């Protein structure tokens, strides 16, 4: 053994600290695991700088890790944190050469433990979504008026009281069947599943409410478990979920046929207001009666119109009306015939009067004389007359034989 003999031969090349550090930095920062990693630990030595940057160390029983959170990333982190908090951070390992220190540059920070739940939640949500369990076509319609309402929730606390109060107020005698269950902690999910199955088998129930008050993600966890989701999905009766506050959407809320923001809203969704229905029924009943009466009246009127036909009421009119017609006709015949005769008489008298005027005897009576020759021929001219010719002069009451004494012929001008 010699003190002079070194374990390693003298180097040909010696690295500077900077070069070595640079090499380490490259190795570290190019490592896949180290460039995106979740790490969990307790916060200590927290410094929140005025610039907005934060510096702290994460530690557990065996090791510490320096961490920095730049102001730009801090803005996206909703969780508040302080010394002593157990957190999980996401980021990349980087090396700070001037101090020869490595640290994690944090881009996300969440309370420890929640992360696992969130992941499980997201995983189950994606899985069930892929199976189509949230699809709107799968949602069962709520009954207009259920025979009875099943409720799966804790038998104590405000939730069941709210549900009872709202349902009672809207529909006084609506039967409500409660299956009391644990709504958080060990065995809660199994109890909820059993409750849903039991109410499915209960023929008195045709709509189910599953409810729980608000709480942390852990508190609501039972409603994010797959068996509960499956039980809701398999239910043949529609399920309304009212779990947690409106902002916490559980898997149960997504699978349920209807989501209510609060237990009271669930009560409102599940039953109509009885008084409204009664009023509606009253109105419809009145309308029905009115319509029935009106149809009857119309038909009765239609019938009466026919039944009042005079020939049906008094068939003797069939004969009587005709007899009347005949009498009228014979009366018309009588008057017609009389008029006919009168007309003929009248015409005769007119003709007769004219005839009387033309009768030569009536002329003789008025002083005219008719001259005839010996043969009885009427003489109307002096042409053939000669002195000494015998004529016969006719008067109205006789005649006289005369002889022509003189013949004077009138000249044309004297006529």
Partner 1 sequence: MPQYTAKEVAKIVAMSKEDIEKLDYETAMSKLEIVVDALEQEGTSLEYGLQLYAVGTLLSKKCSAALDAAEEKMLQLLGTIQNPSEQPFDPEKEGR
Closer by beta carbon to partner 1, 292 or else 402? 292
From the CB of 322, what's the least distance to partner 1, in Å?
Answer: 6
* Other beta carbons within 10 Å of 386: 8
Strands (E), 144-265: 149-153, 176-180, 207-212, 239-243, 258-259
Closer by beta carbon to partner 1, 100 or else 315? 315
Question: What is the end-to-end Cα distance of the chain in Å, rounded?
Answer: 212
Based on the number of CB atoms within 10 Å of its own CB, is 331 exposed (0-12), middle (13-18) or buried (19 or more)?
exposed
Token pair for 47: 């410094």
In the list 312, 351, 356, 369, the residue contacting partner 1 (rule: CB under 8 A) is: 312
Q: Does 298 engage in binding with partner 1 (CB under 8 A)? A: no
Site string for partner 1, 117-156 (x = CB under 8 A): ------------------------------xx--------
| Residue found by looking up tokens 């237990």 in the block | 263
Closer by beta carbon to partner 1, 63 or else 306? 306
In the list 307, 341, 351, 382, the residue contacting partner 1 (rule: CB under 8 A) is: 307
User: What is the C-alpha separation between 177 and 308, in angstroms, rounded?
Assistant: 65
From the CB of 208, what's the least distance to partner 1, in Å?
Answer: 14
From the CB of 222, what's the least distance to partner 1, in Å?
Answer: 20
Stretch that binds partner 1, among 13-21, 229-237, 289-297, 407-415 (CB under 8 A): 289-297
Stretch that binds partner 1, among 56-64, 294-302, 342-350, 367-375 (CB under 8 A): 294-302
User: What is the C-alpha separation between 194 and 200, in angstroms, rounded?
Assistant: 10
Site string for partner 1, 341-370 (x = CB under 8 A): ------------------------------
Strands (E), 253-384: 258-259, 370-372
Considering only residues 154-183, where is the footprint of partner 1 by CB under 8 A? Answer: 173-179
Q: How far is CA 17 from the centre of its chain?
A: 80
Q: Does 292 engage in binding with partner 1 (CB under 8 A)? A: yes
Q: Does 111 engage in binding with partner 1 (CB under 8 A)? A: no
Q: Does 203 engage in binding with partner 1 (CB under 8 A)? A: no
Half-sphere exposure of 277 (CA within 13 A, CB side): 9
Closer by beta carbon to partner 1, 285 or else 339? 285
Q: Does 300 engage in binding with partner 1 (CB under 8 A)? A: yes
Q: What is the DSSP track for 242-306?
A: EES-TT---HHHHHSSEE-SSHHHHHHHHS--HHHHHHHHHHHHHHHHHHHHHHHHHHHHHHHHH
Q: Which of 239, 231, 251 is nearest to 124 (CA)?
A: 251
| Residue found by looking up tokens 């007309």 in the block | 343
Strand 149-153, strand 176-180: pairing: parallel
> How many residues form the binding site for partner 1 (CB under 8 A)?
30
Closer by beta carbon to partner 1, 175 or else 360? 175
Based on the number of CB atoms within 10 Å of its own CB, is 406 exposed (0-12), middle (13-18) or buried (19 or more)?
exposed
In the list 44, 79, 285, 294, the residue contacting partner 1 (rule: CB under 8 A) is: 285
Q: How far is CA 32 from the centre of its chain?
A: 58
Interface ranges with partner 1 (CB under 8 A): 147-148, 173-179, 204, 285, 288-289, 292-293, 296, 299-300, 302-303, 305-307, 309, 311-312, 315, 318-319, 322
């Amino acid at each position: 053994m010699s003190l002079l003999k070194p374990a390693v031969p003298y180097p040909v090349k010696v690295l500077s600290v900077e070069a070595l550090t640079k090499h380490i930095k490259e190795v570290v920062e190019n490592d896949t695991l180290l460039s995106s990693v979740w790490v969990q630990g307790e916060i200590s030595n927290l410094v929140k700088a005025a610039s907005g940057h934060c510096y702290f160390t994460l530690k557990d029983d065996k090791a510490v890790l320096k961490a920095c959170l730049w102001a730009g990333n801090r803005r996206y982190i909703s969780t508040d944190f302080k010394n002593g908090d157990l957190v999980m951070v996401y980021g990349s390992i980087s090396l700070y050469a001037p101090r020869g220190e490595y640290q994690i540059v944090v881009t996300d920070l969440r309370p420890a433990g929640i992360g696992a739940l969130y992941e499980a939640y997201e995983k189950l949500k994606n899985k069930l979504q892929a199976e189509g369990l949230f699809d709107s076509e799968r949602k069962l319609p709520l009954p207009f008026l259920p025979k009875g309402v099943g409720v799966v929730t804790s038998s104590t606390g405000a939730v069941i009281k709210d549900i009872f109060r709202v349902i009672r107020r809207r529909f006084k005698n609506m039967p409500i069947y409660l299956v009391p269950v644990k709504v958080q902690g060990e065995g809660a999910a199994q109890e909820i599943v059993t409750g849903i199955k039991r109410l499915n088998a209960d023929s008195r129930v045709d709509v189910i409410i599953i409810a729980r008050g608000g709480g942390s993600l852990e508190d609501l966890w039972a409603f994010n478990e797959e068996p509960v989701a499956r039980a809701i999905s398999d239910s043949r009766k529609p399920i309304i979920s009212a779990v947690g506050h409106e902002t916490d959407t559980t898997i149960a809320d997504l699978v349920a046929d209807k989501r209510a923001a609060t237990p009271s809203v669930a009560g409102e969704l599940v039953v109509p207001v009885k008084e409204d229905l009664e009023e509606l029924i009253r109105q419809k009943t009145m309308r029905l009666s009115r319509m029935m009466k009106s149809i009857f009246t119309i038909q009765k009127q239609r019938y009466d119109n026919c039944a009042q036909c005079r020939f049906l009421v008094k068939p003797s009119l069939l004969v009587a009306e005709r007899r009347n017609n005949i009498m009228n006709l014979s009366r018309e015949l009588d008057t017609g015939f009389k008029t006919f005769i009168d007309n003929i008489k009248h015409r005769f008298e007119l003709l007769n009067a004219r005839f009387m005027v033309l009768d030569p005897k009536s002329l003789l009576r008025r002083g005219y004389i008719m001259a005839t020759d010996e043969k009885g021929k009427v003489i109307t001219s002096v042409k053939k007359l000669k002195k000494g010719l015998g004529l016969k002069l006719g008067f109205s009451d006789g005649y006289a034989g005369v002889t022509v004494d003189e013949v004077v012929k009138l000249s044309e001008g004297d006529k």
